[in-house]
Structure 1
Amino acid sequence: MMKKLLLLALVILTAVNCKKNAEKTITETSSEKEISVLEKIANAHGFKNWSKIEKLNYTFNVDRDSSHFERSWQWQPQKEKVKMLSAKDTVAYVRKEIDSLQQKADQAFINDKYWLLFPFQLVWDQSFEHVVKENVKAPISEKPMTEITIAYDNEDGYTPGDTYKIYIDKDFIIREWSYIASGNKEPNLSTTWENYQTYNGLKIATTHQNKEGSFKLYFTNIKVE
């Protein structure tokens, strides 16, 4: 549950430097149609292959104006083992057994994992409501897409109450998204989802950029076993 962890990434970087026919709205209920939308997004990104994955390594990079930030991860999801490697520190832990000293690393892990595998969080997470709108202008390309608003509750996770708006194409692939911190009405950040690559069946967007080009988040050294 990422919530304000995206904002945390930006803070770290700063520190180191209605027409009814035109738009259809669906609110969260127990309907099979809504659930299938989220499952279709996850499956379009390779979720059915997740159970086969034993190791996932990657480097999380952010370029913001003239600054660069990165940290690398070694993750064994079936065993819940995580190792973070950064310029300042190396931290290894088991997610079910984290202590107060490891919690900061785990917050960073959740942040970076949401950027990497948010389509899977749509079926992993339970603590949100969602609304689907069709034919909505995407924030960067301004192309009409299906918008799904993911609003997390105010109780669970490190930073509860945050909202995401994802924009999917006809194949249920995420092409853009916006992050709205808890308490805000307008997006704190909107970026692309692009440069998709497939690793052992996982379809991953390796690059995310804002409209102005001043912010670029991308993944390197991806290895999936």
Structure 2
Amino acid sequence: MNKQIIVAIGIIFSFLGCKEAKSTKTAALNDEVSIIEKVANAHGFKDWKKVKELAFTFNVDRDTTHYERSWIWNTSTNDVTAIGNQDTITYNRHKLDSISYKINGNFINDKYWFLAPFNLMWDRHNFTFEHQKESIAPISKTPVQKLTIVYGNNGGYTPGDAYDFYFGDDFLIKEWVFRRGNQSTPSVTTTWEDYKDHNGLQLATMHKNEDGSFKLYFNQLKITFKTP
């Protein structure tokens, strides 16, 4: 793959899911907060505390192009190893310099695609939200519930973005919409499918757009759990 294609794909996806910012906007502390917990827990959030290390490869197929990058994340120390086509770099997320800050933005993006249900809990003080018990999924056109979250406008890699999560009565996400800057028009709409169960963690490994010309998926998944 030539350098121009890699750069172009990196630009397209570097803004997706780049969260973990402090914000003055928070999820309202009322009974609706439980919907956040229900979605997160349906995906195994309560079992996340057992994870010691997570390794995965983030893949993007768009038309005839393919892009991938791999990560190893030690959740205890917050050390991250970024594995590219040419370089392997390890850094600590508590000690970012100008180079690791940029790499960490890619990591946050890829991790968000993979673990967005858990980020509902990790980021719950950084966004406002709205829950609709009756909605229509944008791709399948089936009746579902909808949870919309809007991040605050301060800090982070891409502040002010919005996400619409679509799920059924089992609270497993079936589709989602990313709206950059909380614009009304979707920036990206994909499925959540090919769920894999890893000791209670329910992880969607495939995302597709409506016509299948875009696929974002995860492979080479390895999860190391803490010793009881």
Per the shorter chain, which TM-score range?
Answer: 0.7 to 0.9
**1:168–1:9 CA distance, 2 compared to 1 (3 A):** farther
| Cα distance in 1 for residues equivalent to 2:139 and 2:62 | 18
State the Cα deviation string for residues 179-204 of structure 1 (Å, max 9, x = none). 00016220011000000001132110
- Alpha-carbon deviation of 1:12? 5.9
Give the aligned partner of residue 132 of structure 1: 131
- Alpha-carbon deviation of 1:87? 1.1
State the Cα deviation string for residues 35-61 of structure 1 (Å, max 9, x = none). 111011111101111111101000000
**1:178–1:154 CA distance, 2 compared to 1 (3 A):** same
Give the aligned partner of residue 3 of structure 1: none
5 Å-filtered alignment, 1:111-126, equals 111-125=109-123, 126=125
- Alpha-carbon deviation of 1:92? 0.7
Give the aligned partner of residue 151 of structure 2: 152
- Alpha-carbon deviation of 1:11? 2.1
| Cα distance in 2 for residues equivalent to 1:158 and 1:183 | 15
**Secondary structure, aligned partner of 1:211:** coil
Give the aligned partner of residue 67 of structure 1: 65
| Cα distance in 2 for residues equivalent to 1:77 and 1:34 | 29
| Cα distance in 2 for residues equivalent to 1:8 and 1:30 | 38
AA partner of residue 214 (structure 1): S
| Cα distance in 1 for residues equivalent to 2:182 and 2:9 | 15
**1:213–1:39 CA distance, 2 compared to 1 (3 A):** same
| Cα distance in 2 for residues equivalent to 1:12 and 1:133 | 28
Gaps of 5+ in 1: 1-6, 14-27
Aligned length in residues: 204
**Secondary structure, aligned partner of 1:103:** helix
**1:214–1:119 CA distance, 2 compared to 1 (3 A):** same
**Secondary structure, aligned partner of 1:157:** coil
5 Å-filtered alignment, 1:13-32, equals 29-31=28-30
5 Å-filtered alignment, 1:76-225, equals 76-125=74-123, 126-182=125-181, 184-225=183-224
Does the 8 A contact of 1:59 with 1:71 survive in 2? yes
Gaps of 5+ in 2: 1-7, 15-26
State the Cα deviation string for residues 108-149 of structure 1 (Å, max 9, x = none). 000000011000000000210000112211110010111111
Give the TM-score taking structure 1 as reference length: 0.87
**Secondary structure, aligned partner of 1:54:** strand
RMSD between aligned alpha carbons?
A: 1.6
The answer to whether residue 48 in structure 2 is matched with residue 47 in structure 1 is: no
AA partner of residue 208 (structure 1): H
**1:167–1:10 CA distance, 2 compared to 1 (3 A):** farther
| Cα distance in 1 for residues equivalent to 2:129 and 2:207 | 23
Give the aligned partner of residue 33 of structure 2: 35
**Which consecutive aligned stretches of 4+ in structure 1 deviate over 3 angstroms post-superposition?**
7-10
